[in-house]
Amino acid sequence: MIAKFVIFGMLGICTNLFITALFSTIAKRKLELTGEASVVMFPVYGLVAFIYPVVAIHLSHLDWYLRGAAYMLIFYVFQYVIGLGLTKLRLCPWNYSGSFSLHGLIRLADAPIWFGCGLALEWIYPIAKAAANVI
């Protein structure tokens, strides 16, 4: 159990670093990857190891595009609730104060990312679970 938590925590941090680095590279038009991630998010990403299987069971009968939409909505709800809690603790590592955002905690622009991350988890989870069993 702990191994899965650590694996998903690391996967989340690495994914966060890569995505922020990629967006920074595009915005600055420089060929360097400089990403950011907050250690506060490690346990949040680690919890995916335990939440995802419960969600996946209930969505498995749906077509891929409906599963993707459901994952996206679930990610948004979790991001909002976690962001709200972290903001109250003054630990929230993000602030989406631009247009198409809700209270600076979630933004519409992330919809394709959450859609894709949810579907990617369907492939990643069995591999990470197998790796955790080896550790």
User: Residues 39, 115, 117, CA angle at the centre, nearest 5°?
Assistant: 40
Average of per-residue pLDDT across 101-126: 96
Domain ranges, ordered by start, for the chain: 2-129
Give the model confidence (pLDDT) of 33-80 as tens digits.
899 999 999 999 999 999 999 999 999 999 999 999 999 999 999 999
**Residue 6: CB partners within 8 Å, gap ≥ 6?**
46
Mean pLDDT over each residue of the chain, to the nearest integer: 95
In the predicted model, is pLDDT for residue 94 greater than 90?
A: yes
pLDDT of residue 27: 92
pTM of the model: 0.89
